Structure formats: structure tokens, C-alpha cells
Structure 1
Amino acid sequence: MDEPAFRTIIEPFRIHSVEPIRMTTAAERRERLAAAAYNLFQLHADDVLIDLLTDSGTGAMSRDQWAAIQRGDESYAGSPSYFVFRDAVRDLFDFAHVIPVHQGRAAERILFTVLGGPGKTVPNNTHFDTTRANVEATGATAVDLVIPEGRDPASRHPFKGNMDLAALEALLAGGADVPCVFVTITNNSGGGQPVSLENLRGVRALCDRYGKPLFLDACRFAENAWFIREREAGQGGRDVVDIVRDIAALADGMTMSAKKDPMGNIGGWLALDDPALAQECRNLLILTEGFPTYGGLAGRDLEALAQGLKEVVQHDYLRYRITSTAYLGEALQQAGVPVLTPIGGHAVYIDARALLPHLDPLHYPGQAVAVALYELGGVRSCEIGTVMFGRRPDGAEAAAPMDLVRLAVPRRTYTQSHIDYVIEVCGCLAERAHRLPGYRIVEEPDALRHFTARFEPIA
């Protein structure tokens, strides 16, 4: 008998323990918003019904990860847990030096402290917020070179995260002082869009031609590999593990926030082949993070990450992960909510500029949508637009290429009924979108302002 195909997406796991969600009213949420100066990062998590602010460190660990925690060895130096972790990383990313850190931005800070500096330029398909901040903190310039389709929310290009190879070659040929080339997989700031293997090979060829090392910001490597398997010619039917190894073989090193695809609640690493560069990075690690065999993490964290790396490349999990995110995105489109297409792997991105055409980008339409989603239904999301990327290093304000609101879905955390509720809230928002006010910033820090800025609505 032929195996039937069913439409229902089921989670490839059972729920072992639960934590309560505190229900709130719209009146309570309005009070919380005012107290938080309309910055969703400043809300108390207990006041959030469905938390889609980020998928970073917010997922549920598995039974086997919790069991691995019990094996954690807390020796200060030379812990056996480090070698379990190192070998799990090397099984997928065969770099000579694996340096643990407490999270991805620590790896970025260490690497760019060594490689960055005034007068230097670091190209990326699109820098995410902490990557850009760590580049610019050294006095270097962060340049985004994503393909033109990557700046068009409505484009259906299957690999909108690709690097613009012609633009990269022009930069390298023009004599810029480029210490390294970075590629972010998947491209978070551009809507969680994947990068093709063909494009990575093109970037590698240019790096070889101009003598530049290639680094990956690879925190969503498994989702990117799944998209390659599903969308790229000649890659269908391959094992995701083999695709990941092909990706890693093209690079000289990587930074990793292990709070994403490696399924951890904390952790990350910097991995690379150059022994001299690795030694400089280890020296900084010891100064600010910890000894090289723990790097700011407990042994139990290292064990959990090693197990997470085995689980994230399982096809059943990735099929569920990508399909369930697409379920949310497609339902929002049917409800009249404009979203960035194709749907990304870890999140759905609402096109706030299209949803709120009455607002100028400098009145932060993304922030307006994010605030309204929380007020209406207790759904916390994240603005990725002019608030996050609008202020230039010289202090000037400019509109970001896109104003998006990211609904980042934590791994193995919410059920389909939670997602159906989010769809309802977004549909309700779409009906009221024309009435939403813009926002102004009344107080902001010098860097990464979206975390702590204070807002007020524009009457």
C-alpha cells in the first residue's frame, strides 16, 4: 500500500514537562508598555503570553540534553566535557582550533578586536546587530553586500541571503583594507534567508583570488543546509550533515551563537584554522571569558551543546521546523498581513512598511507594529528595521533598507495552537493597521540602541 501524505504538521517529539503562561488583559498590557517606555526588550517576561522576540537561547532542550548536563565535568582546565564538545563541533565543522565562548557576540568581539581597527572594512551579506556593533567598536566599517533581491521583501528568489559577488569583487579590487570576508547563514537581518552552496563557492573563489580569509556567522547553519537540500539544483536527497560539511570546507573559520541551531540556552564558539590567529584569540579569551577549555561556560553547558549538535541535523526535526514556520507565514499572508517571502527558517518577518504605508520610516513603523502586537494579544516580537539599523556611525539617522518585524519561533517550545493564536492576533492587527501611530525615540544609548532606547507614541 502506498504511504499516504498528510497535511497536518506534527511535532517530532512529545511534551515531557510544561511551564505556565500567565494570562493578561489588554489594559494590563497597556500599563506594562508605558512602564517599559514602549520598548519590548524592557518588558518582564511574565507579562508576555507568546514570546517571539528571539529564537536565541529560548528553545526547549531535549531529554538527552538534560541527561548530558548530568555528565558535565566542572574542572577548571582540561575538562572531559570540553573534548566531547570540541569533537562534536569538529564532526560538522572541521576546524583545527575550537574556542568556546559564553555566546556568539563574545566570539565576534574577540575576532574583530584582533582583525578590526580604524581604516579597515568588513564585508558581509548582511551584518546582524551585534556583528555590526563589534566591527564598528574597533573603528572598522561594516559593509552589507547582499544581492538586490535580498532588499526586496516581495522577491521570490530562493536564496535571498546570497552575497552580491560583483559588489564584493569591486570592493576587494578597489584596494580596501579588508581583513576578512563574512557570510551570515541564514541571513537574519534579511529575513532569515538562506545562502546557496553555489554562492558560497563564488565567495570562496574571490577570497582566494584576493588573498582574504572567509568566515561564517553560522548560527543557523542547519536551517541553511536544509534550504540548500530543498531548493538548490543537484542538492536534493543529500544528507544535511554532508551539506554542512561542504559549507564548512569553504571557510577559514566561523563564529557561532550556540543559542540558535545548536539547541543551547547559552554558549557559542569561535573556530578557525590559522594557528597564529587562534593564539591571539585565545589570549583575549583568557583575559575576558575564561580558560580555553571552558570559555565562560560550565562543563554541563558544553555537554548539552554537543548533544544539541547531533539533534539539529536530524531530517525529521528540520522538516518540522521549516514547515511549521512556513505554516505561520502562509497563514499571515492569507490574513492580509504582508510578509517577507520566501518564508525564512527560524522566523516570519512582517513587512511593516507595507502594512503601515501612512508612517514615514523615521517614525519607525516596525516599532509601531511590534508594540501593537503586544498590546492586542500579548505577543512579543522584534523590530528589525530603522530602529535597529537606522543610526549611522556618524550619528546621522537614515531609513533602513527594510522595516521588518520578526516573529522568531523558539525551537520545540510552542504548539500549533499557540501559533494559531499568533495568526489571529496578527489578523486583528491588520484590520486596525491604518490607525496605528508612529513612534519617536526620546532616549537612546550610543550603540545597540534597540535594546534600551525609550520611545513615545507620536500623537
Structure 2
Amino acid sequence: MNIKRRTAEPYKIKSVETLSMLSRTEREESLKRAGFNTFLIDSQDVYIDLLTDSGTTAMSDAQWGALMTGDEAYAGSKSWKQLEQAVRDVYGYEYVLPTHQGRGAENILSQLKIKEGDFVPGNMYFTTTRAHQEMNGATFVDIIIDEAHDPSINLPFKGNVDLTKLQALIDRVGANKIPYVCLAVTVNLAGGQPVSMQNMKDVYELCQSYSIDVMLDATRCVENAYFIKEREDGYGDRTIASILKEMLSYSDGCTMSGKKDCLVNIGGFLAMNDEELYIRSRELVVVYEGMPSYGGMAGRDMEAMAIGIREAVDDHYIEHRIGQVRHLGQQLLDAGIPIVQPIGGHAVFLDAKAFLPHLAQEKFPAQALAAALYVDSGVRSMERGIVSAGRDIQTGEHIKPNLELVRLTIPRRVYTNNHMDVVVDSILSLYEKRDWICGLKMVYEPPTLRFFNARFAPLAESGKLIDEENKVKQIS
């Protein structure tokens, strides 16, 4: 008999943290205080926190030990040398500048590369990345394949760039108006979808022919490398480390939020191969971050990141990482719950449009579903739809993305599969009473990155989010 053998976590638990388990009434009060925005819920009121995988990693014993060896010198820190060497060894870039986190690197890159009237093409936007590009005068242009905007289509590399779209943009505005292509690996807002090695190579070769740089958002590049190993011909017998090194060779640099695939709670970096850009970037690091030998991080944080960079390319670690996300996602698929397919690398994304078809997009169905999930079980997730997309900077109207999603983001090395089973049970329960979930209205809207601090109120006449008596009778 050929029985598929189950595997366990490639680590053992050395320390535990007690989780809060509030009553439903207490959760309803907590959500109301937060303005029905899961970002504003106190963490002490959360049972299973799937808000983000950013900075929520459980560090290893080696990383915790390294905290005690951190060199906190203001200049020339030994810990910085450890981090710089790890980036060179694992990622292959020549020049590295530390930042407090990924958006610090985005800020510096955008200021130095973008001029008013430029266009920055990318394989789907990300919130903070696009904000920095727009604040510096650029227009973001989505060049991802069309299939990425349809959650039901199952393709191995839905993060791929449509080369025809890229060429059309170059022909329309001219290469001198495109400072760089922003290539995300993986693509967060598409559902954690990867880019193939061949597509990365094709994009790089096309851009080289026009002297256009390719700058990666490498935040989850190790996850992308795993999908290449699993899905692309010729890579099945390669190590994750070797695949990653080849991936990044088809780029001119990257921004990195170390809070994801570098397995730490804070920090990031900007890396590149262009010495001139490095020198200019180094000057801005001093203005916005700190000395080029710490860039907003303590020495102990750099020590931990240097170790995390190397731990992340361990094949056993990343296999389990992707496997846990699939453990959650496959159960939902098997139960008929609408999610983005294929299951991505860092999260499972609920398709809120299909989950709550009675709610128009202007009633913020993904925001409502994330709030309802917290009420039902204390599981915190986040909206990735019309709220996150913001408003058109020209018209002021809501941007209405095709993807209206709730992101269930799995922190690295934090939860067991039993926790994922609890999440599944809650979602199945909500799906049975989905007609009772009402829409929301926005009662406070920040001018920028509104999803972080916006506040909402239920549209149901009863004032309840899950109105089991009145179903979907709502105030227009």
C-alpha cells in the first residue's frame, strides 16, 4: 500500500505565549472600539492573529542568542558587516544599505530614481510601494498578466509580467520615462502568486535592451524560489539557495522588508549592483534612516537578520512554510469556500465578492468579512480590496479592483496546523450564515493608505454586523 506519509514542523517549541480567548460579546465590543477595522484591534484581544506576516515571525534560538552579541556602535558596527555579508552571499548583490524596514528602502529608491511625469510599471501594485512612487511624481502602470485579476483561474505563475503590456508602455511613453520596472516576487495582492524564472529572465532582457533597470520587491523571494523549484521545468533538483541566487541575478537591485523572508521582527535593506546609485542612496540613508552602518536598526537586529537570511533558504523550512499555508487553503477549497487559486505562498485569500455576493463593492465586503471573522472566532485577518486600493488621484473616485479579498496571512514558525483548523471551522460557520453579514460605511477616511486607520460602521438597521434577525436589510 502506497500511503502518503505526513510531516511535522521542522522545529520544536522552546517557549510559549498564552493566547487571549475572549467571549463573543467581548469581541463585539473590541471590534466596535476599533471602528470595525481589524488593524485597530488591540492584539491582547486577538486569539489567532493572521493580520500579517510582517514582523510576526518567531525567531530561532540562534537568532535569540545572536541578540546578545549585537554591536551597537554608531559607526562601523560588526553586526552590520555580518548583515552585509549575508546579503552578498545569499542574494548576490554587491551593495547593501540597511533601513528600518522595507518602506524605508522604497522611499529612498523612489526619491532617487523617479522624476515628475515618470511611469513605473509593475506586476500589480502594492500599497506602500505605489504610495512612494506617486508621492514622487510617477504613475503606476499594472503590467501583470490578465489572469492574475481573476481569483478562480488556476495557473502556476499568476504573478508573471505580460511582456506585451510592458512593450506597449515603452512604445507609448518612451524608455526615458520609465526609471525602473518594479517586479514583485511573489505578488502579494494577487494572492501571493509567484513569477517564473523564465518570465524574470525575459523581463530583464527586454529592459536591458532599453537601459531600464529592474528593481525587485524581494520581500517574499524565498517563497517564490520554492514555487519555481516545484513548478518550473529544470529546477526540481536544485536547492532553494541556488534558485534564489539565479532569480535575483535577473535584476539590478531590490527593496527588502526583512520582516518577512528574513525571519525577523524589524528591519530591511536596499540592495543594488550600481555603484553610482549606491553612493547616492547612501547619502539619503543618512537623512532618513541613520548611518549607513545601521540604517534604523540596532546592532542586535542586524545580527538576527543575518542569521535569518541564511535560515530562510533551508529547504526543509520553506517546504513546511508553504505546506502550512496549503493546509489551511486546501481545506477551504475542499469545502467549497471561494478563495484565490492557486494557493499562494504567505497567505490564503478569501474571495469576498463570491463569499458575500449580496454586498456591492461600495459596501466594503472584504472589510465586512474580515470584521465578521473576528466576531465569530477572534481570528484577525485583513482587507485587500477597495479600501486598500484607495482613491484615484485624478478623479477622487474609489478605485475598484477586480480582486476584493480577505487575507489570512500565516506568520512564520508561529502557529501549528491545529490553529489553522480552528480558522477553517470559523470560516465554514460564517459561510453558512453569510446572508446575515451586512455591509459597512466608512465614517472616517484618512487621506493616504486609508486601510490602516479608516473607521467603519455597519449598514444594518439594527446596527449589528452579523444580523441574524434582519438578514441583509440595510440602510442604503
Q: TM-score, structure 2 length as denominator?
A: 0.94
2:27 is the counterpart of 1:11: no
In the other structure, the counterpart of 1:313 is 313
Please give the residue correspondences for 1:14-53 in structure 2 after superposition, counting only pairs within 5 Å. Answer: 14-53=12-51
Secondary structure of the structure 2 residue equivalent to 1:174: helix
For the residues of structure 2 that align with 1:297 and 1:273, how far apart are their CA atoms? 22
Deviations 1:243-281 (CA, angstroms, capped at 9, x unpaired):
111111111110000000110100000001112211221
Deviations 1:200-221 (CA, angstroms, capped at 9, x unpaired):
0110111012110111000111
Counterpart amino acid of residue 285 in structure 1: V
Please give the residue correspondences for 1:182-197 in structure 2 after superposition, counting only pairs within 5 Å. Answer: 182-197=182-197
Assess if the C-alpha contact under 8 Å between 1:390 and 1:400 holds in 2.
no
Assess if the C-alpha contact under 8 Å between 2:213 and 2:252 holds in 1.
yes
For the residues of structure 2 that align with 1:114 and 1:436, how far apart are their CA atoms? 46
Residue 426 of structure 1 deviates from its aligned partner by 0.6
For the residues of structure 1 that align with 2:50 and 2:250, how far apart are their CA atoms? 33
Please give the residue correspondences for 1:428-447 in structure 2 after superposition, counting only pairs within 5 Å. Answer: 428-447=429-448
2:86 is the counterpart of 1:88: yes
Please give the residue correspondences for 1:270-419 in structure 2 after superposition, counting only pairs within 5 Å. Answer: 270-394=270-394, 395-419=396-420
For the residues of structure 1 that align with 2:419 and 2:134, how far apart are their CA atoms? 39
* Equivalent residue for 1:74, pick from 72, 75, 78: 72
In the other structure, the counterpart of 1:57 is 55
**How many residues of Structure 1 are paired with residues of Structure 2 in the alignment?**
457
For the residues of structure 2 that align with 1:332 and 1:216, how far apart are their CA atoms? 31
Residue 390 of structure 1 deviates from its aligned partner by 4.0
How much identity, in percent, do the aligned residues show?
Answer: 47
Change (3 A) 1:318 1:245: same
In the other structure, the counterpart of 1:240 is 240
For the residues of structure 2 that align with 1:5 and 1:289, how far apart are their CA atoms? 54
Assess if the C-alpha contact under 8 Å between 2:123 and 2:143 holds in 1.
yes
For the residues of structure 2 that align with 1:434 and 1:9, how far apart are their CA atoms? 38
In the other structure, the counterpart of 2:106 is 108
Residue 9 of structure 1 deviates from its aligned partner by 3.5
Residue 434 of structure 1 deviates from its aligned partner by 1.5
Q: Give RMSD over aligned pairs.
A: 1.2
Counterpart amino acid of residue 171 in structure 1: L
Assess if the C-alpha contact under 8 Å between 1:352 and 1:366 holds in 2.
yes
Assess if the C-alpha contact under 8 Å between 2:383 and 2:405 holds in 1.
yes
Deviations 1:19-45 (CA, angstroms, capped at 9, x unpaired):
111110111111111111111111100
For the residues of structure 1 that align with 2:441 and 2:391, how far apart are their CA atoms? 13
For the residues of structure 1 that align with 2:403 and 2:350, how far apart are their CA atoms? 10
In the other structure, the counterpart of 2:212 is 212
Counterpart amino acid of residue 385 in structure 2: G
Residue 5 of structure 1 deviates from its aligned partner by 5.6
* Equivalent residue for 2:131, pick from 127, 130, 133: 133
Assess if the C-alpha contact under 8 Å between 1:124 and 1:146 holds in 2.
yes
In the other structure, the counterpart of 2:465 is none
Residue 316 of structure 1 deviates from its aligned partner by 0.8
Counterpart amino acid of residue 326 in structure 1: R
Q: Which moved more, 1:389-398 or 1:100-109?
A: 389-398
Deviations 1:26-83 (CA, angstroms, capped at 9, x unpaired):
1111111111111111110000000000000001000011111111111111111111
For the residues of structure 2 that align with 1:426 and 1:143, how far apart are their CA atoms? 35
Residue 6 of structure 1 deviates from its aligned partner by 4.2
Assess if the C-alpha contact under 8 Å between 2:124 and 2:187 holds in 1.
yes
For the residues of structure 2 that align with 1:289 and 1:398, how far apart are their CA atoms? 32
Q: TM-score, structure 1 length as denominator?
A: 0.98
Assess if the C-alpha contact under 8 Å between 1:362 and 1:398 holds in 2.
no
Deviations 1:172-216 (CA, angstroms, capped at 9, x unpaired):
122241111110011001000000000001101110121101110
In the other structure, the counterpart of 2:473 is none
In the other structure, the counterpart of 2:120 is 122
Residue 171 of structure 1 deviates from its aligned partner by 0.5
Assess if the C-alpha contact under 8 Å between 1:352 and 1:404 holds in 2.
yes
For the residues of structure 1 that align with 2:306 and 2:378, how far apart are their CA atoms? 34
In the other structure, the counterpart of 2:269 is 269
For the residues of structure 1 that align with 2:271 and 2:387, how far apart are their CA atoms? 32
Assess if the C-alpha contact under 8 Å between 2:390 and 2:450 holds in 1.
no
Counterpart amino acid of residue 325 in structure 2: T
For the residues of structure 2 that align with 1:39 and 1:7, how far apart are their CA atoms? 41
Assess if the C-alpha contact under 8 Å between 2:160 and 2:194 holds in 1.
yes
Secondary structure of the structure 2 residue equivalent to 1:157: coil
In the other structure, the counterpart of 1:251 is 251
In the other structure, the counterpart of 1:427 is 428
Assess if the C-alpha contact under 8 Å between 1:123 and 1:168 holds in 2.
yes
* Equivalent residue for 2:163, pick from 150, 162, 165: 165
Assess if the C-alpha contact under 8 Å between 1:9 and 1:324 holds in 2.
no
Residue 398 of structure 1 deviates from its aligned partner by 3.0
Structure 1, unaligned runs of 5 or more: none
Counterpart amino acid of residue 158 in structure 2: K
Residue 335 of structure 1 deviates from its aligned partner by 2.5
Secondary structure of the structure 1 residue equivalent to 2:433: helix
Secondary structure of the structure 1 residue equivalent to 2:173: coil
Residue 93 of structure 1 deviates from its aligned partner by 1.8
